């Protein structure tokens, strides 16, 4: 493969050229309600070329891998159309490596019939409840072999093997429809999707219980987030602000995100770490062939680092972090998170509740969105907190706020760190879903706006 | 690669081992020019193509797909394996198609050179900067040429070529109060030679947002602009989706003919609007596109179906079988058209002593949309005082239930619809919507 890539690279003329070819095989199974909606295996082959000429980028993606030289020329000539100030690319030691995926149980060795039987069992569990109207059970695996060659001398083969499952229950009572779900997915191997009967039962119970839950009281509350929602908050509300592409050319934003500025209490530390083995956001090298290492974003409440591609690192004169990633060959790498989490502290969950007279415990996440300043999250479910104890179950719990104020309003950080991968992922720049994991412990925050009825 | 030969080969190989086979071929080439921080950043060409193979074998559906045309035998094998587990086929592939007459191709889009696209985008950015020198603009201007083919062993072989032009413009303003994003976009099959409306919208929003206003938690009359209406229509769109109806998950299941909304509300799914972004002469199963009433005078009229879902429901397919080559067809939307009402925006405003105008939301589609719930951050919203816009409101949410609002909550429907891409909708004024704020 590299011979073909080298020959193609030779026809291009640019300051920097990057050629990527990906071969992949994938399997999926999906039940919706009683019906098996989708089952099967599929194959993909494609590539892309990225070229930089004096700071301007050209990009070509394609399936006709046998016509690679044509696309190298196209990307180079497109790059010449762009005139742009540039600091170039931060220098890195060119990676020459071959990284083979090492799943504990290789999903490619599991027959399709076994994957189907697993989904059917999970689906039967969900549908066994009379209040469940319909279900959604998805299994997905994919094995990608990527070949990357750059004009800087990188020659990199990386294999990734991802497997995961998602179980959703939809309960219905008249016009009242409620959903609950759970998802796992990472690069540990097929074993992680097995033995989840109890999870399916819990999901089903949660959806049914939500039918009789009430809405929260609208207004500003002291809120305790569970580890899952804390992870979503860390990723969505704060993590995206740490991405160098967003701030690198913008002086005023740089001022807001000045390293050394205090963002939260001393207890608060947030980091991004692609090197965590097995996690959904794991990789050895990023999409530019840069080694993926841990980056401290907030340390003891103070902004200490951010995520970079080679270009944004050069622009901001900061160290590369190995966070340029692309969803697939049809996209150019952009600055992305990997495994992003808030570090745990010593407080047990009960201590977080103690002293809250009238608050709210928000659990899980249906989704999250941010415009950098403002975030909005939908919790899967919630509970009232009355006099330091959990009370009535709540639904339609949506939290919103200003990220800077909210980080500063963190009152207490728990000891129960959990990382969450899954079939979903990050959706930045239309490159969705990119496998990431996020996490944190339970965390208590004051003055968060909650939508209710 | 000879596509005719490819399709023939697949149909022959699969047809020999199954009762029926269908190939869906899709290819596209798009040429986006991307701007970041007020200048061109990327000139790209993104091409892609692939085939999906659907078979009916021993009465069951099987499916696989590939973009690697050297692995056709594996594709056929995978589809056969899939059929070993697949659903009972409740459809017959159509043997012919009379494509609908609709314009989906503009040669000017196909001819647009990257230099010209770059000039269009830069012109729009410069026009915004002339009025607001301190903002950072990003933009994408691009065109796409797409080809679709569907052919099956019953003799159907139909396809079409379409163009698509899109332009998006965003400005970011960073002030003491934080970040403000405003943006606008258009997409259609035809070239849009003048981006002045996008400039006016973006620059105008930046003007309007300069003043800030406070609102306290409570219930207020609210005007949703066409841009903001898209969020409310998510629930309705899910509600009439034949698949969700079949699963019993839609709250509209079993309610055809029922008065579900205000008699002033009429909503159509329309695949026949010339040059609209979701128009096509036929769907991805080879059924001619149509205009389907979803809600007429407040009465629920139809659900949207692909062939298999219609078969399961004993209903008629509506020409809404949509997919990419990598997946099986499912019910999907063409363009959504809402019949305008009789109120001008000024009349709506004049009727409000204290309320909100919501133009952009964050978090749409994240709540329990199936049940009609919405709970959104008001990203771009303005306080209305005595019929006038009195400043941008921040840090607040709007929430409620779409079905309740459409049934009893409509104060007025605007007389001027806007169609920026696939949605043609006027502004709506609602009598009362709950707002949560920090105050």
Picking from A398, A430, A445 by the largest number of B CB atoms within 10 A of its own CB, the best residue to mutate is A398
Chains A, B: CB contacts under 8 A, how many? 248
B68 with A63: Cβ contact below 8 A: yes
How confident is the model at residue A126, as a pLDDT?
Answer: 98
Asked if A137 and A129 touch (Cβ cutoff 8 Å), the reply is no
Which chain A residues are closer than 8 Å to B438 by Cβ? Answer: 220, 447, 449
Which chain B residues are closer than 8 Å to A175 by Cβ? Answer: 251, 371-372, 403
> Which of B172, B206, B240 is the C-terminal boundary of a domain?
B206
Asked if A412 and A352 touch (Cβ cutoff 8 Å), the reply is yes
The structural domain count of chain B equals 2
B399 with A36: Cβ contact below 8 A: no
B171 and B220 together in one domain: no
- CA B320/CA B336 separation, integer angstroms: 12
**Region A420-446: what's the mean pLDDT?**
92
B76 and B43 together in one domain: yes
Q: Is the pLDDT reported for residue A451 higher than 90? A: no
Q: Does A117 touch chain B (CB under 8 A)?
A: no
Q: What percent of chain A has pLDDT over 70?
A: 99
Q: Does B324 touch chain A (CB under 8 A)?
A: no
Q: Does B5 touch chain A (CB under 8 A)?
A: no
How confident is the model at residue A376, as a pLDDT?
Answer: 84
- CA A258/CA A306 separation, integer angstroms: 10
How confident is the model at residue A453, as a pLDDT?
Answer: 54
Measured between CB atoms, which of A63, A133, A370 is closest to B49?
Answer: A63
Q: Does A18 touch chain B (CB under 8 A)?
A: no
- CA B51/CA B8 separation, integer angstroms: 12
B344 and B221 together in one domain: yes
3-state secondary structure of B262: coil
Which chain A residues are closer than 8 Å to B365 by Cβ? Answer: 367
A176 with B371: Cβ contact below 8 A: yes
B30 and B158 together in one domain: yes
B201 and B281 together in one domain: no
- CA B30/CA B112 separation, integer angstroms: 11
Q: What is the pLDDT of residues A23-78, one digit of tens each?
A: 999 999 999 999 999 999 999 999 999 999 998 999 999 999 999 999 999 999 99
Return residues 304-323 of A near B (CB < 8 Å).
none
ipTM over 0.85: yes
How confident is the model at residue B370, as a pLDDT?
Answer: 87
How confident is the model at residue B439, as a pLDDT?
Answer: 60
Query: CATH number of the domain that B141 lies in?
Result: 3.30.2290.10
Q: Is the pLDDT reported for residue A320 higher than 90? A: yes
B265 and B411 together in one domain: yes
B276 and B383 together in one domain: yes
> Which of B177, B206, B235 is the C-terminal boundary of a domain?
B206
Instruction: Return the half-sphere exposure (C-beta side, CA atoms, 13 A cut-off) of residue B149.
Output: 17
B215 and B201 together in one domain: no
B101 and B159 together in one domain: yes
SS (H, E, C) chain A: CHHHHHHHHHCCCCCEEEEEEEEEEEEEEEEECCEEEEEEEEEEEEEEEEEEECCEEEEEEECCHHHHHHHHHHHHHHHHCCCCCCCCCCCCCCCEEEECCCCCCCHHHCCHHHHHHHHHHHHHHHHCCCCEEEEEEEEEEEEEEEEEEECCCCEEEEEEEEEEEEEEEEEEECCEEEEEEEEEEECCCHHHHCCCHHHHHHHHHHHHHHCCCECCCCEEEEEEECHHHHHHHHHHHHHHHHEHHHHCCCHHHHHHCCCCCECCCCCCCEEECCCCCCCCCCCCECCCCCECCCEEEEECCEECCCECCHHHHHHHCCCCCCCEECCCCCCCCEECCCEEEECCCCECHHHHHCCCCEEEEEECCCEEEECCCEEEEECCEEEEEECCEEEEEECCCEEEEEHHHHHHCEEEEECCCEEECCCCCECHHHCCCECCEEEECCEEEEEEEEECC
Return residues 197-256 of A near B (CB < 8 Å).
218-220, 245, 249-250, 252-253, 256
Picking from A400, A409, A424, A453 by the largest number of B CB atoms within 10 A of its own CB, the best residue to mutate is A400
Picking from A374, A429, A448 by the largest number of B CB atoms within 10 A of its own CB, the best residue to mutate is A374
B373 and B406 together in one domain: yes
pTM of the model: 0.90
Asked if B281 and B101 touch (Cβ cutoff 8 Å), the reply is yes
- Residue B384's beta-bridge partner residues? B355, B389
Q: Show the domains of chain A with their CATH numbers.
A: 2-210 (3.30.2290.10), 219-451 (no CATH)
> Which of B206, B235, B255 is the C-terminal boundary of a domain?
B206
Q: What is the pLDDT of residues A210-262, one digit of tens each?
A: 999 998 988 899 999 999 999 999 998 899 989 998 887 667 678 889 999 99
For residue B333, the distance in angstroms to the closest alpha carbon of chain A comes to: 19
How confident is the model at residue A297, as a pLDDT?
Answer: 97
B69 and B160 together in one domain: yes
A218 with B37: Cβ contact below 8 A: no
Q: What is the pLDDT of residues A86-132, one digit of tens each?
A: 789 999 999 999 999 999 999 999 999 999 999 999 999 999 999 99
Give the residue from B99, B12, B16 showing the smallest Cα distance to B286: B99
pLDDT tier at A439 (50, 70, 90 boundaries)?
very high
- Provide the residue range defining the domain that includes B32: 3-206
- Residue A243's beta-bridge partner residues? A307
How confident is the model at residue B149, as a pLDDT?
Answer: 98
- CA A378/CA B362 separation, integer angstroms: 11
- Burial class of residue B74 in the structure, from the number of CB atoms within 10 Å of its CB (0-12 exposed, 13-18 middle, 19+ buried): middle
Q: What percent of chain A has pLDDT over 90?
A: 84
B216 and B335 together in one domain: yes
- Which regions in chain B score pLDDT beneath 50? none
Sign, CA torsion A358/A361/A366/A368 = positive
Residue A32 has a CB neighbour count (10 Å cut-off) of 22
């Amino acid at each position: 493969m590299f011979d073909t890539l080298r020959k193609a690279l030779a026809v291009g003329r640019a300051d920097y050229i990057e050629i990527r070819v990906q071969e992949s095989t994938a399997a999926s199974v999906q039940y919706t309600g009683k019906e098996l909606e989708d089952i099967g295996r599929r194959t993909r082959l494609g590539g892309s070329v990225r070229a930089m000429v004096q700071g301007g980028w050209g990009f070509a993606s394609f399936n006709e891998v046998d016509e690679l030289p044509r696309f190298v020329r196209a990307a180079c000539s497109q790059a010449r159309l762009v005139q742009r100030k540039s600091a170039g690319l931060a220098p890195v030691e060119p990676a020459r490596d071959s990284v083979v995926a090492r799943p504990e149980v290789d999903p490619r060795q599991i027959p399709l019939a076994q994957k189907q039987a697993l989904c059917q069992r999970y689906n039967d569990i969900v549908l066994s409840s009379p209040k469940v109207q319909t279900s959604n059970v998805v299994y997905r695996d994919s094995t990608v072999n990527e070949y990357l060659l750059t004009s800087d001398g990188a020659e990199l083969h990386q294999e990734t093997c991802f497997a995961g499952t998602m179980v959703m229950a939809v309960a219905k009572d008249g016009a009242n429809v409620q959903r609950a779900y759970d998802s796992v997915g990472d690069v540990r191997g097929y074993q992680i999707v097995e033995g989840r009967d109890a999870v399916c039962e819990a999901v089903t119970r949660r959806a049914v219980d939500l039918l009789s839950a009430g809405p929260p009281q609208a207004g500003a509350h002291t809120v305790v987030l569970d580890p899952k929602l804390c992870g979503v908050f860390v990723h969505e509300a704060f993590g995206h602000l740490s991405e160098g592409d967003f701030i690198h050319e913008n002086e005023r934003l740089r001022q807001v995100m000045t390293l050394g500025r205090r963002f939260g209490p001393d207890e608060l530390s947030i980091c991004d770490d692609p090197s965590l083995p097995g996690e959904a956001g794991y990789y050895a090298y990023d999409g530019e062939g840069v080694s993926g290492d841990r980056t401290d974003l907030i340390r003891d409440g103070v902004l200490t680092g951010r995520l970079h591609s080679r270009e944004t690192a050069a622009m901001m004169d900061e160290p590369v972090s190995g966070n340029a990633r692309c969803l697939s060959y049809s996209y150019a790498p952009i600055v992305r998170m990997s495994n992003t989490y808030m570090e745990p502290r010593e407080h047990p969950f009960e201590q977080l509740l103690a002293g809250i007279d009238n608050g709210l415990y928000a659990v899980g996440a249906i989704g999250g969105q941010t415009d950098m300043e403002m975030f909005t999250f939908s919790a899967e479910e919630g509970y009232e907190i009355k006099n330091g104890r959990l009370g009535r179950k709540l639904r339609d719990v949506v939290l919103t706020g200003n990220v800077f104020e909210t980080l500063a309003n963190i009152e207490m950080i728990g000891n129960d760190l959990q990382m969450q991968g899954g079939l979903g992922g990050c959706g930045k720049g239309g490159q969705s879903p990119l496998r990431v994991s996020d996490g944190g412990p339970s965390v208590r925050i004051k003055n968060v706006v909650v939508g209710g009825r | 690669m000879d596509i005719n030969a490819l399709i023939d080969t697949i149909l022959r190989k699969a047809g020999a081992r199954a009762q029926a086979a269908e190939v869906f071929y899709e290819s596209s080439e798009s040429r986006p020019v991307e701007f970041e921080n007020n200048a061109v950043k990327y000139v790209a060409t993104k091409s892609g193509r692939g085939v999906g193979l659907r078979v009916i074998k021993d009465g069951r559906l099987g499916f696989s797909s590939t973009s690697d045309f050297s692995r056709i035998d594996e594709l056929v094998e995978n589809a056969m394996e899939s059929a070993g587990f697949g659903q009972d086929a409740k459809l017959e592939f159509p043997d012919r198609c009379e494509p609908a007459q609709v314009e989906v191709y503009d040669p000017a889009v196909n001819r647009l050179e990257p230099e010209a696209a770059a000039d269009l985008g830069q012109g729009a950015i410069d026009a915004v900067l002339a009025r607001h020198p301190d903002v950072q603009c990003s933009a994408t201007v691009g065109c796409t040429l797409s080809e679709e083919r569907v052919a099956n062993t019953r003799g159907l072989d139909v396809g079409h070529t379409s163009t698509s032009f899109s332009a998006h413009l965003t400005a970011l303003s960073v002030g003491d109060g934080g970040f403000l994003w405003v943006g606008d976009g258009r997409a259609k099959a035809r070239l849009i030679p003048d981006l002045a409306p996008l400039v006016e919208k973006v620059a105008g929003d930046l003007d309007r947002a300069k003043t800030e206003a406070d609102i306290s938690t409570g219930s207020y009359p609210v005007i949703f602009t066409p841009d903001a209406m898209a969020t409310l229509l998510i629930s309705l769109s899910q509600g009439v989706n034949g698949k969700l109806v079949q699963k019993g998950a839609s709250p509209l299941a079993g309610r055809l003919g029922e008065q579900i909304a205000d008699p002033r509300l009429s909503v159509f799914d329309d695949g026949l609007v010339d040059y609209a972004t979701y128009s096509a002469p036929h769907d991805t199963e080879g059924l001619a596109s149509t205009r389907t009433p979803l809600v007429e005078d407040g009465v629920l009229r139809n659900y949207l179906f692909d062939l298999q879902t219609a078969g399961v429901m004993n209903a008629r397919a509506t020409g809404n079988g949509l997919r990419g080559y990598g997946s099986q067809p499912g019910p999907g939307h063409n363009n959504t058209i809402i019949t305008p009402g009789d109120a001008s925006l000024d009349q709506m405003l004049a009727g409000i002593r204290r309320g909100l105008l919501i133009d952009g939301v964050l978090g749409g589609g994240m709540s329990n949309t199936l049940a009609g719930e919405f709970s959104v951050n008001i990203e771009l919203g303005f306080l209305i005082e005595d019929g006038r816009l009195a400043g941008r409101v921040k840090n607040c949410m709007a929430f409620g239930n779409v079905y309740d609002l459409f049934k009893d909550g409509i104060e007025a429907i605007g007389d001027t619809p806007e169609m920026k891409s696939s949605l043609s909708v006027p502004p709506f004024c609602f009598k009362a919507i709950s707002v949560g704020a920090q105050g």
